Amino acid sequence: MKSVYLDNAATTKLDKKILKTMQPYFKEFYGNPSSVHIKGQETKKAIENARKIIADSMNVKPEEIYFTSGGTESNNWAVKGLFFQNFPKKNHLIISKIEHDCILNAAKWIETKGGKVTYLDVNSEGFINLDQLKKSITEKTFLVSIMQANNEIGTIQNLEEIGKICKEKNVLFHTDAAQSYTKIPLDAKKMNLNLITINSHKIYGPKGVGALFIKEGTKIEALIHGGGHERNLRSGTENVYGIVGFGKAVELSKKIDYKKISKLRDKLLEEILKNLSETKLNGPKGEKRLPNNVNIIFKNCEGEALGAYLENKGIYVSTGSACMSNTNAQSHVLKAIKIPGKDQDSSIRFTLGKETTEKEIQYVLKILPEIVEKMRRINGLK
């Protein structure tokens, strides 16, 4: 088998249909959307079409969608923009201990500027405690930010319940939906969401483009100033072909069979746990887990080495968040769910995609035990 790509949480392959949709905007439709002439109006129309597609997918208005350079910018804008808007009257942020690093580092940054942050605990499967959330909200809280689904262990939080609490307490609610968007239901009204982060390259669209939903009436400071693009809140000439590709990715996402993907996910995790000793699933099973995510501890196997052995066999996986792969830091997510340090280093994340086949999963299930047993023999443990 040529190769098996199981790192779709890090990024997805650009869909050929999406590339084809984007191509005219590289050469034929090249006008600046701010220009009043026909060349500008052509590209402006394309942007507004994508904006509507994305808005409809979350049950919001097109004018509540603001395009950005990606999930990291959107998350920073949500946290810092609201902090600047509310400080010093309100300076308290609530997040979970398993948020993406861009949320955690934005939170650490506001702490240096006079902000206060509550880091909610999670249980062994990665779920926050709703009672702890309720008790943590004060009159100084300007935002609760809880990711819809975790990028490492796939845990899906109960946004409807969190949204109810935030509404009762009259506090703004933001979710980072970068990993979950289009994979599971996301309805801003049902979930009482004021802000939502999404991006393109996790759903077979181009890199370098994302969006932030900001509910009408939500006051937020701009972080990027310039010519007043995106209704004076996010300046900079729009990434037209990226936005067009993002819209097409959302449109095509309706055709992805996530029931099929979740069946392959379950086959992979169940066979590994059944046939390989000293293995443990990180995160929950079933519907409370992202349909494409498997994260497993292979005891007495160093994760990076296991990943390298798998790569030699044409299988591409990761040891956790791609955004942290350049550092030697252990996973803050696995630490938060109380996984011992040694086992943290033995974890592998497999994330399936729309092109993943049963044949590929069978190949992984054939190769993986051979490698794990070999590594354990080398380590003198089997």
Contact of 225 with 68, CB cutoff 8 Å: no
For residue 148, the 8-state DSSP code is: S
Distance of alpha carbon 343 from alpha carbon 300, whole angstroms: 8
- Provide the token pair at 300: 């007495």
Among candidate residues 120, 149, 338, the one with its CA nearest the CA of residue 330: 338
Report the SS3 class of residue 273: helix
DSSP-derived 3-state class of residue 25: helix
DSSP letters for 55-111 = HHHTT--GGGEEEES-HHHHHHHHHHHHHHHHTTT--EEEEETTS-HHHHHHHHHHH
323 among known catalytic residues? yes
Helix, strand, coil abundance in the chain, percent, nearest 5 = 40, 15, 40
* Torsion from C-alpha of 339, 275, 352, 317, nearest 10 degrees: 60
The torsion region of residue 380 among left (phi > 0), alpha (psi -120 to 50) and beta comes to: left
Q: Which helix (H) or strand (E) holds 279?
A: strand 279-281
CB 333, CB 153: distance < 8 Å: yes
The count of C-alpha atoms lying within 13 angstroms of the C-alpha of 77, restricted to the half-sphere facing its C-beta, is 29
- How many angstroms separate the CA atoms of 5 and 285, rounded? 22
| Positions marked active-site | 323
